Amino acid sequence: AGGTLIDEQAMLAQSDFPISPEELLEKTRLVLRKDSGVLDPSLWANDFEFCAPIIGPLGKEEFLEAAGGFNIYDAFPDFDNRYYNLNVDPFEPGRVWFFTRLVATHTGKLFGKEPSGDNVQLPPQVFSLKFTPQGLVKELTVGYVVDRRQGNTGGLGGMFGVFWKVGQGLPFREARPYKPSLTFRLFGWIGRQVS
């Protein structure tokens, strides 16, 4: 009851994906050393897509343009995603999942504004890379927060959390820390009354 403990190694051994799990992990490390491929887009397939919880999917050119527009490493010279726990997905051939716990200090101008000096600590997030059988990155997923109580960005992940923490949050609800709606709070109150 409650679920099955999967024999990941047995499933991976039965996979017909042409790249071994060990090679997928090595390819993932290479892509991450190249800023998820931003520093070397030749690592991406022609039909590459970027996808986050709110943003995307974006194609290769659209994503490169968006990523380059932030000048994030000028504003946060110590920007560090701190990748860890890389795992090959036994259910989806060619997919590698991993965690990040980004830290960065706002010491340079961002969007023309002076640095705040704030230290940003994002909550733990899950990212993934999906590879083609030829070993190119077909998909990059980022920003999926797994515990919004961690970090100092009000539970926001990705660039939404970074911008919010340094006082430059974006002007829409999805880019703000989670706040239960009035309807949600009302349903909770009703549930407590009838239980």
Interior angle at CA 125, CA 85 and CA 68, nearest 5: 105
pLDDT of 178 higher than 80: yes
Query: In the prediction, which pLDDT does 100 show?
Result: 98
Distance CA 131, CA 122 (A): 26
- Contact, 115 vs 106, CB < 8 A? yes
- Contact, 75 vs 110, CB < 8 A? yes
66: enclosing H helix or E strand: helix 60-68
Q: What is the pLDDT of residues 73-112, one digit of tens each?
A: 999 999 999 999 999 999 999 999 999 999 999 999 999 9
Q: What is the pLDDT of residues 27-82, one digit of tens each?
A: 999 999 999 999 999 999 999 999 999 999 999 999 998 887 778 999 999 999 99
- At residue 26, φ and ψ (nearest 5 deg) are -65, -40
What is the share, in percent, of the chain residues with pLDDT greater than 90?
Answer: 90
Q: What is the mean pLDDT of the chain?
A: 95
Sheet holding 137-145, edge to edge: 58-59, 44-51, 137-145, 125-131, 95-100, 83-88
Q: Give the residue-averaged pLDDT of 156-182.
A: 93
Q: Give the residue-averaged pLDDT of 9-31.
A: 96
